[in-house]
Structure 1
Amino acid sequence: MLPEQSHSHAAQGPRRGLRATAVLTLLCLPLFVAMPPAVSPPPRLVLWAWERPEDLSFLEGRAVDVAFLLATIDLTDEDEHLVPRRQPLRVPLGVSLKATVRLQMLPGSSLARFGPERLESLAGSLDALARRRPDVTALQLDFDARASEYDAYVDMLQRLRARLPPGMPLSITGLASWCVSGSWIARAPVDEVVPQLFRMGPDAPVWRARFARGLPRPCSGSMGLAMDEWQLVPPGVSTLYLFNPRPWTPDAFARAVAETRP
């Protein structure tokens, strides 16, 4: 029996060596642990406060910004008419304020026919508006430029950019059709483009489906939605502007927060 035991032990020697090698190999392999998918933080909310009485005092202590309509400028080929905000706005201390200026071309007029002096004058008017309130942290322009006006709009934005106080962000709203590869909007010297994915008419489903996986550059990062045309926020959106067709209330704001949380 002893010889058989000796033979058995001799036969087990290599197996021990293989087992030890296998254990060592396993210890040297990287450890892969299934991790839950990363959840992106919810976007920062910015409430648009348009031309109507708005009491936003309920925002005290909330991590939210307000973009309020500061003025509307009606433009013709020969003149411009400034209509300042006339409705009261109550915002608690600590809420960051962005001034939005609406530019409107009156029928029969076009920004494309503005010469250098007119564009410089318009840039000066916008700069003066931005400096009117010391609590304003950014300037936003709301202008639905037509294709024939793209070059003039970029020219005016360049002039405005040179005039604004150093460090003041310049934002513009945009149409969904501007946010495509090779768009002219890439030439605009702005810090933010906010495509408004609402009130888009019959093409709305097409654009929403196109942007469902994220907004292409240079429109990535920010977008605008309406409370009465809600849709899922695409990935990659860090700042979400919200338009409410009715005055903001604590309930409406709570619904907006709930809709944007995972």
Structure 2
Amino acid sequence: MTMLWAWERPEDLRFIDPATTGVAFLAQTLTLENDEVRFAPRRQPLEVPDGTYLIAVTRIESIRRTESRPVYSPRQLERLTSLIADTLNRPHVRGIQTDFDAVVTERPFYRKLVAELRSRLPANTPLTITALASWCIGDKWLNGMDVDEAVPMAFVMGADTERVRSYLKSGKDWTEPICRESYGVSVDEPPIEGRKAGRRIYYFKNTPWKRDDPIGNT
């Protein structure tokens, strides 16, 4: 199934075919600051056809200012787990995804969060994460992460852009097994060459989706 990421903006996706296309929508943004978790729910409307496969995405951010850096406490872990798990209760949501560009020092905390989520969610609930492309080609920190899928974000890669694009174009695959179920790409960037056939594609767009967007050509 093709997936469209629907971020924080009004989205009218009633034109999609729910038999072939699902939607991973931003449900909330959670920001770690000191010993707190700031909660910002989605405020923009989202319209989809009946029967659309929906994934509730939680964006996690952390304040970098020295005086406000998070402490990654058990209290924050519990608050994050509760808020993310609660997105499964939204109408027609079938899976959960977290989007956290965790730096090296945040990775142990993120692993704990994923483990807590897995234990909190009903059995067989799809739990996925987004993954920086660099995490999937040599960075082994995702080994053993208890998720159904880590979606490699092969767009907005900054300094890694040419390295990752050349790596995939050469025919190589992601070295991390949980990254081999899908690709995350942007319709605003040139197509990624060398993608393996048969994998789910998540599409991102910086502006609202339209019926004639080049899905499938990126």
TM-score normalised by L of structure 1: 0.76
Q: Does 1:117 align with 2:68?
A: no
2:97 aligned residue: 140
AA aligned to 1:138 is G
How many residues align? The count is: 212
- Aligned counterpart, 2:134: 177
1:246 equivalent to 2:204? Answer: no
Alignment of 1:1-262 (within 5 A): 44-60=1-17, 62-108=19-65, 113-131=71-89, 133-181=90-138, 183-212=140-169, 213=171, 214-216=173-175, 217-231=177-191, 232=193, 234-236=195-197, 238-252=199-213, 255-257=214-216, 259=217
Aligned-partner SS, 2:184? strand
Cα RMSD for the two superposed structures: 1.8
Shift of 1:61: 5.2
Supply the distance in 2 between the matched residues of 1:61 and 1:97 (Cα, whole angstroms). 10
Distance 1:64 1:196 in 2: 19
Structure ID, larger Rg: 1
Structure 2 distance, partners of 1:59, 1:198, is 23
Between Structure 1 and Structure 2, the one with more helix by share is 1
Q: Which amino acid aligns with 1:120?
A: E
Structure (1 or 2) with the greater strand fraction = 2
Shift of 1:64: 0.6
The 3-state SS of whatever aligns with 1:57 is: coil
Distance 2:20 2:81 in 1: 32
Residues 233 and 66 of structure 1: CA distance in aligned 2, closer, same or farther (over 3 Å): farther
Deviates more, 1:184-193 or 1:224-233: 224-233
Supply the distance in 2 between the matched residues of 1:196 and 1:190 (Cα, whole angstroms): 16
Do the aligned residues in 1 keep the contact of 2:37 with 2:76 (CA within 8 Å)? no
User: Against the structure 1 CA distance between its residues 181 and 107, is the aligned structure 2 distance closer, same or farther, given a 3 Å change threshold?
Assistant: closer
Kept in 2, the 8 Å contact 1:110–1:149? The answer is no
Structure 1 pair 134–90 and aligned structure 2 pair: CA distance change class (3 A): closer
Partner Cα separation in structure 2 for residue 69 and residue 238 of structure 1: 22
Aligned to 2:188, the other structure's residue is in SS state helix
CA distance in structure 2 between the partners assigned to 1:233 and 1:87 by the alignment: 36
Q: % of aligned pairs identical?
A: 38
